[in-house]
Structure 1
Amino acid sequence: MTAANRARLGWSELPEHVRAAVQEILGDRVVEAVSQPGGYSPGSADRVRTATGRRAFVKAVNPARNPDSPRLHRTEAQVAAVLPASAPTPRLLGCHDDGDWVALVFTDVDGRHPATPWRTDELTAVLAALAAMAVALTPAPVPQVPTAAERLAHDFGGWHRIAADPPATLDPWARAHLDELRAAADRGLAALTGDTLCHLDIRSDNLLVDAAGAVTVVDWPWACRGPAWLDTALLLVNVRLHGGHDTEALLRRLPLTADVDPDVLTGTYAGLAGFFTDGARRPAPANIPTVRAFQQAQGDALLPWLAARLS
């Protein structure tokens, strides 16, 4: 489930000085810009073409759109600048940061998001790309990023917050198993150790597949150091959400997850389910109106899986 952010800005709505700075990075005048659908950023997201035919992808935001988004863009710029060429990611061409607006300029990827429900061929290609990415990003080339446990510490506390203040709409199975869910999430968080640079937000709208089937992983503001299997495990949340594949069988078969302690995987999914369930009841962030429904859908998709794994 991905939804276009209807609050997204277009290229022409960016301030003139921001557009000028992007064009300076590109060394040419932008003559065409096509806003890209999907995702949850409240800023712009455009594939652009210059007068001489150069193509790039540009995204820009300021605090007036959302107070947290400029920080995420700055973090992504730091990560993207040092990602190795062997990783299946776009290259950062430049960054404009005037203290208010932050604009990132990347190489253009002529691709589309994988179809959902997931097609078997595209899922196979993405899983192979994630396995190759884990190799390319171990050891982590960005040592200053937080660990996965640091990045997810608050998120994985979701069941503790729910237990302290259960919503009336809480799933009956979850309500009856709050102690188990809290304990599992705590175990999962403690096990998120490793020295692989993880994307931490792997889902269909952060992936592009080109005509040849090559996969590119985009949007890196949540990068962290963690276990090599983490991004693959996270992708299966999106697969589970959209249906059509046996995620339990995939966990057991895939090289990156097959040998992981099942309790650790269960704990990871418990932590994520708590984060989604707790987050879904919060007010929507500024100019990101669809994210709470998406969190609820992910939590709802995970709970039956957890019920089976914890039984």
Structure 2
Amino acid sequence: MPPTTRITWPDLPLHIRSTVESILGDTVTTAVSQQGGFSPGTADRVTTSTGLRAFVKAVSTAQNAHSPALHRREILATSTLPSTVPAPHLLGSHDDGDWVVLVLEDIEGRHPKTPWTQEELTLVLTALTEMARTTTPSPTLETTAERLQEDFQGWHRVVEKPTTLDPWTNTHLDDLRALADHGLAALTGDTLVHTDIRADNILLGPDDSVTIVDWPWACRGPAWMDSLLTLVNVRLHGGHDTTRLLDRLDVDRADAIGVLAGLAGFFTDGARLPAPPGLPTLRAFQRAQATSTLSWIRELLDEH
């Protein structure tokens, strides 16, 4: 994934760096910025003078007006995750109304390769299935339908303010709107859902462990949601028959197509907007997501 415009540890104000060191109880001596993702804030693996490791995420309104709110949501979600969830522990946080900081456990690992390998995909889907099993019922969070309600209105916004579309999509706009509405209604369930599963939000450990990172979108929803989102990412990078993989998920085909239509509408609608401050690669990513997801929807409808 192309890097975003990200600040790094040395860019943080002195009082924020001092706050992080207070949380850690030691002086930070090294910091290595991590690329990928869509936050303009820090994503630094830090090490202290005594060898303590941590992962620091910090952002202010100066980088992007909306990013601090996402960090606040992640603090809330991460602090309430059940112990069975394979996620970094929150070591501490800070919020002064402008700067919002998370200090997390630093997990040894790397992102899955893209295009995905079959071995790594199997590891991740197995881990997501186990996570869904152990987090039902989920912590008290808003539902997936509540979280995605506005996003899944994307095709309605496209119809209201038309944009250039490929011939198939343009011909099937009414169908896509109806499918997305069905998809939103299908987002029922009481399982903890990450809702933003991609290769860059997953770490594979040297022991084949799977850790899920970046939790601002956590909510309650269907047990199959994160696995379906993984296949959306697999489809984006190519190399697999995602329709055959979908058959292995415990999800109704019509519900899956509806959710894919809702996502495709969100990507299509978002991709035509100006790039947000500090996020120059976001719109290109959304365009690529829209294209790959729509091609999958077309394939599924043709097969059906």
* CA–CA distance in structure 2, aligned partners of residues 18 and 134 of structure 1: 36
* CA–CA distance in structure 2, aligned partners of residues 134 and 89 of structure 1: 13
Pairwise mapping of residues 33-112 of structure 1 onto structure 2 (< 5 A)? Answer: 33-112=31-110
The size of the alignment, in residue pairs, is: 302
Which residue in 2 is equivalent to 1:154? 150
Task: State the 1:310 CA deviation.
Answer: 2.2
* CA–CA distance in structure 2, aligned partners of residues 305 and 57 of structure 1: 36
Q: Give, as a single letter, the amino acid of the residue that structure 1 aligns with 2:255.
A: V
1:127 corresponds to 2:125:
yes
Verify the 8 A CA contact 2:40 2:64 in the aligned structure 1: yes
Q: Give, as a single letter, the amino acid of the residue that structure 1 aligns with 2:90.
A: L
1:294 corresponds to 2:285:
yes
TM-score, length of structure 2 as denominator length: 0.98
The one of 167, 177, 181 aligned to 2:163 = 167
Identify unmatched segments of 5+ residues in structure 1.
Answer: none
RMSD over aligned Cα atoms: 0.9
Verify the 8 A CA contact 2:7 2:40 in the aligned structure 1: yes
Identify unmatched segments of 5+ residues in structure 2.
Answer: none
The one of 6, 9, 20 aligned to 1:8 = 6
Q: Give, as a single letter, the amino acid of the residue that structure 2 aligns with 1:285.
A: P
Verify the 8 A CA contact 2:147 2:219 in the aligned structure 1: yes
* CA–CA distance in structure 2, aligned partners of residues 283 and 240 of structure 1: 25
* CA–CA distance in structure 2, aligned partners of residues 261 and 218 of structure 1: 28
Q: Give, as a single letter, the amino acid of the residue that structure 1 aligns with 2:130.
A: A
* CA–CA distance in structure 2, aligned partners of residues 138 and 26 of structure 1: 33
Task: State the 1:308 CA deviation.
Answer: 2.1
Task: State the 1:222 CA deviation.
Answer: 0.7
The one of 248, 258, 281 aligned to 2:243 = 248
1:277 corresponds to 2:275:
no
Q: Give, as a single letter, the amino acid of the residue that structure 1 aligns with 2:221.
A: G
Q: Give, as a single letter, the amino acid of the residue that structure 1 aligns with 2:162.
A: P
Task: State the 1:220 CA deviation.
Answer: 0.4
Which residue in 2 is equivalent to 1:137? 135
The one of 261, 265, 274 aligned to 2:256 = 265
The alignment partner of 2:192 has SS state of strand
Task: State the 1:149 CA deviation.
Answer: 0.7
Which residue in 2 is equivalent to 1:24? 22
Residue-by-residue CA offset, 1:70-124 (whole Å, 9 max, x unaligned): 1110110011112122111000000011111111000001111111000111111
Q: Give, as a single letter, the amino acid of the residue that structure 2 aligns with 1:79.
A: A
Q: Give, as a single letter, the amino acid of the residue that structure 2 aligns with 1:230.
A: M
* CA–CA distance in structure 2, aligned partners of residues 209 and 182 of structure 1: 37
Residue-by-residue CA offset, 1:131-181 (whole Å, 9 max, x unaligned): 11112221112x1x221111111111111111122212x121000000110
* CA–CA distance in structure 2, aligned partners of residues 251 and 281 of structure 1: 29
Q: Give, as a single letter, the amino acid of the residue that structure 2 aligns with 1:261.
A: D
Q: Give, as a single letter, the amino acid of the residue that structure 2 aligns with 1:13.
A: D
The alignment partner of 2:80 has SS state of coil
The one of 203, 208, 230 aligned to 1:208 = 203
* CA–CA distance in structure 1, aligned partners of residues 130 and 54 of structure 2: 25
* CA–CA distance in structure 1, aligned partners of residues 63 and 282 of structure 2: 15
* CA–CA distance in structure 1, aligned partners of residues 215 and 101 of structure 2: 14
Q: Give, as a single letter, the amino acid of the residue that structure 2 aligns with 1:306.
A: I
Task: State the 1:60 CA deviation.
Answer: 0.0
Verify the 8 A CA contact 2:243 2:300 in the aligned structure 1: no
